[in-house]
Structure 1
Amino acid sequence: MRLPKTPLDLLDLDLPRGEPWGYAFAQSLLKAPWAWRALRPTPGLLQLIRQDLEALSLELEGRRREYPLADLGERPPHPAEEGALAALLTRNPEALVRVLQAHGPYPFALYRAFRFAGEVRPLGSYRLPREDELLGYEEQLKALRANALRFLSGKPALHTLLYGARGTGKSTAAKSLLHLREARMVEVEPKALAHLENLLERLALLPHRFFLFLDDLSLNPKEEAFHHLKALLEGSLEGPPENVLLLATSNRRHLVRQTGENPLPGADPTAWDELQDTLALSERFGLVLTFPPFDKTLYLKAVAHHLGRSLTPEEEREALRFALQKGFSGRVARQFARSLL
């Protein structure tokens, strides 16, 4: 278990307000080698945890005496940190196990948003879109939110595909779900699709519910990642765990890059099988929400929405010239509005 030795070691940690040595040691407990095993403890594991708590509490006393320090953090402590510190001070392995079972090991105990690129990296800060940021897709957002709330409440919910032209706000709509209480999101980089099974095995052990976010998805049916995702979406014996809901965005209705012309009637059955194989991927998403392109009227309305005021006739003409090369979309409307601020 890696413990801070000197005050300089504390400077790289995200510590809360309060006694820094205690919370640094509490975070070390959330990162302990046995933290994941503690979610399903055995008598021998509890004995091992007790031994570690006894040794760590003595080390903590020594650090406090040698390097007395005031606050180093600016945020309030997380309940997981408070619980782990209390278990350490009382040398209570059962209490620490309850903390891990309620909040999970690090980093899931302390964060709500993550990026997965083969390994999980917590996002301490991220841009959360305003809840009123998107305009023109009220029905899509209503359906997305309703499905998400069902999932977060423990009810059956549908894996979701947000499909439409670039710049229409699909990613913004997906990220806006982090406004919901108890929501957690893992954004999966495309190159990490082949390692999803490892991630899902970990997520299945946790008490939280996760949106697995696959942004701007475009797959080649001949690549390994295509088959990994297809198997994940109810195509394998296990399927995704109940506490994980897939959320994908794409500008391709069937999520796949075109690899040739559609087969003609009477073509080799193998060609038809390959076509059906690609179409089957999007069909595994139970909820498909379409984000159509903006027209001129909605584009100008979006510009005014981002500005918080009506446009002058000259600003309308400038806004249309700005969109001449890029087209009408929510993204372009936001970009033009920023150029006026």
Structure 2
Amino acid sequence: MTDTVSQLNRLIIYRNVIKDSLVQSMLSIISGSASLSQTSDWYGRLLEKAEHLSLRGNLLHQYLLYLIARDENVFSRTLQHSGGKLGKGLQQALVQDITLLQEFFVTDFRQYVDMELLGNYEPTVCRDQHALTVLQNAFLGVSRRPEELIDMLVQYYLRYGYGDIAGYTAFRWQGAIGLTGIEHYDTIRLTDIIGYERQKTTLVKNTEAFLSDRPSNNVLLVGARGTGKSSSVKALANEYFSRGLRLVEVAKSELQSLPRLMEVLRQYRQHFIIFLDDLSFEEFEVEYKYLKSVIEGGVETKPPNVLIYATSNRRHLIKETWADRSENLDELHRADAVNEKISLSDRFGIVLSFIAPSQQEYLAIVSELAHKYAIALSPEELKTAALQWEISHTGRSGRTAQQFINHLVGQQIE
């Protein structure tokens, strides 16, 4: 079995894989140099990873595939710029690495580790692992030539990316830290948002054009709170993850670091929606100028794989004051002041209005949610209770309807 250890130590492209602490410990166990305490510690850490990553099946295989999927190396980075083309030298090094990894995947480890525990593991929470399943089918399915596996890896990295980009649906940007993957991202889908079909259709068509590298627009979603503006944008990232769409949340306080974010996103083939939620500016705030500069194409232009989707309660993002209309200003200066206020909104090619639902639309949302959650009330009882809830809360909206249904579900459970 020392051959397995020495073989993996010959990896070139996937050198980071064997530098992983869990892989190092596993190789020590296989070579017989690990103590009983070190072996027990390895089991514990591997199970923690399996639960955290929702790995299932043979954990030795699954964890190694996870590392391969996420690995940032000369191969995965090169593909982002070459469009899938590989030089002869890189291809030759990959054939050697893939051959070594194939030998690992067919090795019988039963005499070294407890495969009854690790061979068919079921995590407590099973999450969708579609991206990882692609590599499972490649490496653990029928026997394939190394060249075939390389082609499959090329398609994987082109589609999903590498590193955290391959593993997260959405990110949070902070200039001082960089991109941070959001661990528990909202799982909402567009079908969960009731009503607003025209707005959702426009978003879908624009986003699909963007993913197909056809002309597309930045989008401003405007309207009352609780009408589904933010949820619609978040849902897009879930709908199109497998097509390479990622969402990046940027706070207003981070707008000045947008040029740095553009430079980071430019290096990937994946497509990114920069999400500016609940965006508006007071008269004294000047952060909007950084956003205008990026959209208009300042020193650091917006790369073609980036769009900006913003939500706001205001049609004009910058607050207009009476001073802007003052008679003390001459006509030219007054026009300049007003134009400055509305010019940012004009930079968004699509503006979608999310108007608070009418009573009939509100009741339709309540009815559909009640059916989804199997609420045991007659239509008349449901209508009466929903209208009472609306009056005593924040008015009619999809959010108010969902809160009402949550209340009813809670009462039923009691």
Same topology, TM > 0.5: yes
Which residue of 1 is the match for residue 226 of structure 2? 167
- Residue-by-residue CA offset, 1:203-234 (whole Å, 9 max, x unaligned): 33323223322221123465453222111212
Pairing 1:184–2:239 present: no
Structure-2-length-normalised TM-score: 0.66
For residue 24 of structure 1, give the secondary structure of its aligned residue in structure 2: helix
* Structural RMSD (CA): 4.1
Aligned ranges for residues 93-172 of structure 1 at < 5 Å?
A: 99-117=156-174, 118-123=178-183, 126-129=186-189, 131=191, 133-135=193-195, 137-172=196-231
Contact map agreement 2:274 2:307 (CA 8 A) in 1: yes
Shift in Å at residue 91 of structure 1? 11
Give the Cα–Cα distance (whole angstroms) in 2 for the partners of residues 166 and 277 of structure 1.
26
For residue 171 of structure 2, give the secondary structure of its aligned residue in structure 1: strand
Aligned ranges for residues 1-341 of structure 1 at < 5 Å?
A: 1=16, 3=20, 4=22, 5=25, 6-10=42-46, 11-12=48-49, 14=53, 16-29=55-68, 30-32=70-72, 36=77, 39-40=80-81, 46=90, 67=113, 69-72=118-121, 75=129, 77-79=132-134, 99-117=156-174, 118-123=178-183, 126-129=186-189, 131=191, 133-135=193-195, 137-177=196-236, 178-180=238-240, 182=243, 184-190=245-251, 191-220=253-282, 222-223=284-285, 225-258=287-320, 261-265=323-327, 267=329, 272-308=335-371, 312-324=379-391, 325-341=393-409
Give the Cα–Cα distance (whole angstroms) in 1 for the partners of residues 226 and 243 of structure 2.
28
Give the Cα–Cα distance (whole angstroms) in 2 for the partners of residues 204 and 66 of structure 1.
45
Q: Partner amino acid for 1:79?
A: V
**Structure 1 residues 20 and 280: alpha-carbon distance in aligned structure 2, compared to 1, 3 A threshold:** same
**Structure 1 residues 182 and 57: alpha-carbon distance in aligned structure 2, compared to 1, 3 A threshold:** closer
**Structure 1 residues 9 and 163: alpha-carbon distance in aligned structure 2, compared to 1, 3 A threshold:** same
Structure 2 gaps of 5+ residues are 1-15, 26-41, 410-414
For residue 162 of structure 1, give the secondary structure of its aligned residue in structure 2: strand
**Structure 1 residues 262 and 23: alpha-carbon distance in aligned structure 2, compared to 1, 3 A threshold:** same
Query: Which structure dedicates a bigger proportion of its chain to helix?
Result: 2
**Structure 1 residues 22 and 302: alpha-carbon distance in aligned structure 2, compared to 1, 3 A threshold:** closer
Give the Cα–Cα distance (whole angstroms) in 1 for the partners of residues 81 and 379 of structure 2.
64
**Structure 1 residues 98 and 318: alpha-carbon distance in aligned structure 2, compared to 1, 3 A threshold:** closer
Which residue of 1 is the match for residue 35 of structure 2? none
For residue 215 of structure 2, give the secondary structure of its aligned residue in structure 1: coil
Shift in Å at residue 168 of structure 1? 1.4
Give the Cα–Cα distance (whole angstroms) in 2 for the partners of residues 282 and 233 of structure 1.
11
- Residue-by-residue CA offset, 1:292-322 (whole Å, 9 max, x unaligned): 1223232223222221389644443332222
For residue 288 of structure 1, give the secondary structure of its aligned residue in structure 2: strand
Shift in Å at residue 164 of structure 1? 0.4
Q: Partner amino acid for 1:340?
A: L
Structure 1 gaps of 5+ residues are none
**Structure 1 residues 85 and 164: alpha-carbon distance in aligned structure 2, compared to 1, 3 A threshold:** same
Contact map agreement 1:113 1:186 (CA 8 A) in 2: yes
**Structure 1 residues 38 and 297: alpha-carbon distance in aligned structure 2, compared to 1, 3 A threshold:** closer
- Residue-by-residue CA offset, 1:176-208 (whole Å, 9 max, x unaligned): 323356262314141433333333333333232
Shift in Å at residue 134 of structure 1? 1.9
Give the Cα–Cα distance (whole angstroms) in 2 for the partners of residues 148 and 251 of structure 1.
22
For residue 12 of structure 1, give the secondary structure of its aligned residue in structure 2: helix
Contact map agreement 1:46 1:93 (CA 8 A) in 2: no
Shift in Å at residue 286 of structure 1? 0.2
Q: Partner amino acid for 2:179?
A: E
Q: Which moved more, 1:94-103 or 1:225-234?
A: 94-103
Shift in Å at residue 173 of structure 1? 2.2
The percentage of counterpart residues that share the same residue type is: 28
